[in-house]
Amino acid sequence: MPSPAEPPTGAAPTPRAEDARALEDAERAWTAGDASRVRSILEPLAADPERLGNPEQRRTALLLLADSTLSDTSIDEPTRRGLAEGHLARLLRDDPGFTPAADLYRRPLYTLLEDVRRNFEQAEAKRCIAERQECRADLSDQGERLAALEQEHSALVDAYGKQEVIERNVERRSRGLALLPLGIGHFYNGEPGLGAAFLVAEAGFGAAGLALLIRRTTVDGCVRTDGFRRGSLDCDSDDSDGIQRRRKAEEVMAWALVGTVLVDIVVAQVRFRPLAYTGERRTIRQDLDATPAPPPPRRRRRATVTPSPVWTPGGGGAGVRVRF
C-alpha cells in the first residue's frame, strides 16, 4: 500500500509528493555530509514559489539548505553566510518565533539563526520607532488642524450669532371671512385696492337699481297685482315706454349686482392666503435665540353632556348633565 507522500501506481506524482521525495533525498545527502548534493536538490525547490507549499516541508528544506550552505567549502565564507542568511530570513518571515531542536544541526546554524533573529528584531524596532515618530508627527498635524478648525468654527458661530434676521409676526386667517361681499374679503386678504374696486362697483349697481325701484314705486305708482308674474305690474303713469325702459335698466342693475358679488367672492377665495404677516422687526440672531419661547396656548375646556336620571316627588324622568 503506497505511503501518503507517494502517488498511486500509474498516476502522475503531485507537487507535494515530489517535494516529499526531494526532501528525503536531501536528508540522505545531508546525513552523508554531501552539502553540494543537498544544495543541488533544494535550491530549485526554494526558488520556485509554486513548490514547498506545505509549511513543515518548507521549514525543513530551508534549515537543511542553510546548514548545507554554511558547511559547503566550495563557496567562500561571505557568500556562504549571505546565502544562508537569506534562507533563514525567509524561514523567520514565515514564523518569527521558530527555534529548531537543539543539537540537531551544526553549531554555526544556530549562531547565524540568532544573528538573523536579532537583525529582524532590530529592524522591527526601528520600524516601530519610525511608525511612532510618524504617528507623533501626524498627531501634531492633526492637533494643529483641529485647533484651526475650532477657531474657524468659533468664528462662524460668532458671525452666525451676529447675523441680522427679520422676525415676522404671522396671523392665521379664516377662509369664512373671505366669503363676505362688498370687497370685505379682499380687505381681509390685505388687498385694499381690489376691495375698494368691488365695493364701489357693487355699491354703484345696488344704488342704481334701488333708485330705479324707488322711482317705479313712488313716482310711477307701480304695484304688483299678482306677485312677480310677468304682466302683473300695474302703474298709474301713462308713460308705458319709459316705465318699460326703466324696468329693463332695473333688471340689468340687479343682474350686474349679483354677478359682481359672485365674482367678488370667487376672486377673494382664489386669492385667499391662510397666513398673514402683521408686522416685523429686525434683530440679530443671538438676541432672537435668547428670547424665551412663548408658552403654548392653554387648551380650552370643552363642555361634556351626559344623560342622567331625574327623581321627583311624583316619579322620575330623564335629564342631561353639562360639565365645563
The model's pLDDT over 111-150, given as tens digits with 9 standing for 90+, comes to 988 988 898 888 888 888 999 998 888 888 898 899 999 9
Band of pLDDT at residue 6, cut at 50, 70 and 90: very low
φ/ψ of 176, rounded to 5, equals -60, -40
Nearest of 245, 240, 248 to residue 221 by alpha carbon: 240
Taken in order of first residue, the domains within the chain and their CATH numbers are: 15-123 (1.25.40), 175-289 (no CATH)
Q: What's the distance, CA 192 to chain centroid?
A: 46
Q: How far apart are CA 53 and CA 65, in angstroms?
A: 16
Q: How far apart are CA 220 and CA 217, in angstroms?
A: 6
User: Is residue 12 predicted with pLDDT exceeding 50?
Assistant: no
Q: Grid coordinates representing 120?
A: 529582524
Give the range with max mean pLDDT: 10-19, 127-136, 183-192, 264-273. 127-136
pLDDT of residue 238: 64
Nearest of 185, 146, 157 to residue 270 by alpha carbon: 185
Q: What is the pLDDT of residues 267-310, one digit of tens each?
A: 878 777 777 666 677 878 777 666 665 666 565 555 465 666 66
Q: How far apart are CA 106 and CA 167, in angstroms?
A: 92
pTM over 0.85: no
Give every CB contact of residue 275 below 8 A, 6+ residues apart in sequence.
Answer: 170, 171, 172, 173
Band of pLDDT at residue 243, cut at 50, 70 and 90: low
